[in-house]
Amino acid sequence: MATGHRITIEQGDVRVRVVRDGQVLAESDRPLVLRETGCPVRYYLPAEDVRTELLTPSDTHTHCPFKGTASYWSLPGTADGTDRVWGYPDPKPEVAAIKGHLCFYDTEVVEDVS
């Protein structure tokens, strides 16, 4: 990683929920907490805890030099629902733990489950 750039991933001890337009899209008490230099804390949720049937794959892909290539999903039928969810299907080895997890822009901590 670049000098001064750091990514840490740890098992979270909080319950998180994603609600969009009144609908629960995801809820998990086993999120991964990713902290990256210069970025907000992000919660990566196991795909099994996400209502993936509500998501539509997007054509958008972005590349992060530290995590790899991200794929995106949209939330059809919601205001501003384009590219609100992403994941790294083949993350770099240093962040391999996030494989099989999805991240939302609109994640809220519901409760501490520790």
Q: Please report the pLDDT score of residue 77 as a whole number.
A: 74
* Of the candidates 85, 93, 1, the residue with the CA atom closest to the CA atom of residue 38: 1
The fold of the 7-112 domain, in CATH, is 2.170.150
pLDDT for 44? 97
Residue 79, CA distances (Å) to 47, 54, 68, 83, 102 in order = 23, 14, 29, 12, 20
Whether 112 has a pLDDT exceeding 80, the answer reads no
- pLDDT-derived band at 111 (thresholds 50, 70, 90) equals low
* Res 76: pLDDT: 82
pTM, full prediction: 0.89
Please give the backbone phi and psi of residue 104, each rounded to the nearest 5 degrees, phi first.
Answer: -115, 150
18-54 per-position pLDDT tens digit: 988 788 999 999 999 999 999 999 999 999 999 999 9
| Mean pLDDT, rounded, of the chain | 90
**Residue 82 token pair:** 């384009």
Using 50, 70 and 90 to split pLDDT, how confident is the model at 4? confident
